[in-house]
Amino acid sequence: MQLRNLLHLGINPLQFLRQWLESLEIRNYKAAQLLCKLIPSQCPFERKIKLFNQTILYIPPLCKLNPFYEQLVMLRFKSLVYLADECGEDVTVYC
């Protein structure tokens, strides 16, 4: 289905993807490990690029630019819980 058709039906594709990410359940050891490695534990920090003490470029924290940041952090959390509770793995290596 095309984006135009989804919007015409009143379906927000971003909201649909957010809900899908929130509904995912972690039940695979390798997938949980991969998610914990790929999704950072903290929001990547902001940067100010200066030239002669004047800010010429400001890059906001990347989590503010990612519309799925909260869902990805929750997915990482679910993965950590799965690894710790179900698999008995020490998750401090991912923190």
Angle, helices 69-81/13-23, rounded to nearest 10 degrees: 10
User: Is it the case that residue 18 has pLDDT exceeding 90?
Assistant: no
Q: Report the DSSP beta bridge partners of residue 55.
A: 50
User: Is it the case that residue 30 has pLDDT exceeding 60?
Assistant: yes
2-11, 24-33, 41-50, 65-74: which has the minimum mean pLDDT? 2-11
Instruction: Return all residues near 11 (Cβ < 8 A) that are at least 6 apart.
Output: none
- Quickly state the pLDDT bin for 89 (edges 50, 70, 90): very high
End-to-end CA distance of the chain: 40
Task: Locate 44 and state its tokens.
Answer: 């990547």
Its pTM stands at 0.74
